[in-house]
Each structure stands twice: as C-alpha cells, then as structure tokens.
Structure 1
Amino acid sequence: MKLTETIQTADWKSEKHVPAIIVDKKDGVLNIKAHVGEEVAHPNTLEHHIAWIKVFFKPEGAKFPIEVGSYEFSAHGEEDLFTEPCVETSVKTDKGGEVYALSYCNIHGLWENSLEV
C-alpha cells in the first residue's frame, strides 16, 4: 500500500478531521488559515488529538507543491493546557494555484483538504 492511499478526505462519524482552509489574497500575499474542527470540534485530549498540520502551495503550472509550513501541537492536557489545531501563515506570490492542508489525528490517521486560489 502507498502512503497516499492512507490519506482520507471525508469525515468519519461525527468528528471533524478534515482541515478547513481559508485564504485571503491581498496585494500579492496569500494569508492562509488551516484548522481542524470548524463545524464540529475535534477531541483535544492526551488520548485523542490532532498532532500536526502541514500546509502546501502548488503554484499554477508547477509540477509539485511546496511545503510552506509544518506545525506540531505539543500541549495535550499538561497543566490543563491544550493546543488548538489552528495555524496561520502567509505566502508572497503573484501566481494562483492550489493550497493543500494535511492533518494527523493520533487515532484516525491522515486527512487532507485543498482549495484553489
């Protein structure tokens, strides 16, 4: 089995795993927000949490996407502190293309979403 065959794109049961992507394009800058749990909150406990989110951008005409950010969430209940699976980054480009977000749930695996900009 290939790793790409393990990436899921639809939600499982009533929990949200697929990262939501919001992009605001202004003056040649893509302001990208990726977060898990937009409509239904994902559990955020030591036993069940989103461990990381990666954001990629594939410029129009490019062969491969470029990783623009990798974010690891480390606080899962220590001292009642919980990291929320939400990230923001900016990319300067005059090109359109596609933004991808990949998230990892420690129980339910890899989840992907994309948005054309």
Structure 2
Amino acid sequence: MLSQTIKSGDWKGEKHVPVIEYEKEGDLVKVEVSVGKEIPHPNTPEHHIAWIQLWFHPEDGAFPILVGKVEFSNHTDPLTEPRAVFFFRTQKKGKLYALSYCNIHGLWENEVTLE
C-alpha cells in the first residue's frame, strides 16, 4: 500500500517533512508549502526535493481535492528552492495535506487544519 510508504514527523527536527503555513481572508486561502524550513534540505542533482503537492479535504467531503503540484526540475545553478505558494477559494473548514518527494528518501507528508 502506498500509505505505508509515506513518512511523517516533526518538521522542526526532520528536514524532509513539508511545512504548511496558511492565511485566510474571506474565502481566499493562501498556502505556502516548504521543505527544509528549520533544517535545510540538500538541493543537488544527487539529493533533492523533486515535487510538492497540496491537497484539501473539506470536513463534509468524501475525498481530498488536489489543489496543485509543483515540480522542481533544476538542481544546479540556478538552484530551485523547495517552496510553493497556492491560492484557492473556499468557505469550508477541513484539512490541508502536503506531500513532498525526495529522490533518495521517498514520500513525506504533513497536515494542518484549515479553520
């Protein structure tokens, strides 16, 4: 099962866990997802974050909805940073889920509650 291969942890002590920060103004939600906020993640051709996804699961929803995906394709000069900003509109509460993929250490996840 895919869910058994996804790792998680405290982003303050694990550089692979995506950090989710959001602001909500009316129905507009701005979400920043980053990897390596406290402990920088390497960004080299040999070891890098390849992509980040953001999902939203409304409280009353049957399943999560993919908000967006960002791929980081350059790991030489100029270097890409594993950070992405997403915007979407909703009045609903629910969960924000972020997934990131490290080419060496696999899939990592985190979640926060959207109030």
Question: TM-score w.r.t. structure 2 length?
Answer: 0.94
Partner of 1:43: 42
Q: Deviations over 1:41-94 (max 9, x none)?
A: 0000000000000000011110110001011000111xx211100000111000
Matched, 1:76 2:75: yes
Q: Percent identity?
A: 52
What is the one-letter code of the residue matched to 1:108? H
Q: 1:15 to 1:45 in 2, by over 3 A?
A: farther
Partner of 1:31: 30
**How many correspondences in the alignment?**
112
Deviation at 1:15, TM superposition (A): 5.2
- Aligned pairs for 1:1-117 (under 5 A) are 2-10=1-9, 16-77=15-76, 80-117=77-114
Q: Flag as ranges the 4+ runs of structure 1 deviating above 2 A.
A: none
Contact 1:15 1:41 in 2 (8 A): no
Q: Hey, what's the Cα distance between the residues in 2 that align with 1:61 and 1:73?
A: 33
Which ranges in structure 1 are unaligned for 5 or more consecutive residues? none
Question: TM-score w.r.t. structure 1 length?
Answer: 0.92
Q: Hey, what's the Cα distance between the residues in 2 that align with 1:38 and 1:69?
A: 20
The root-mean-square deviation of aligned C-alpha atoms, in Å, is 1.1
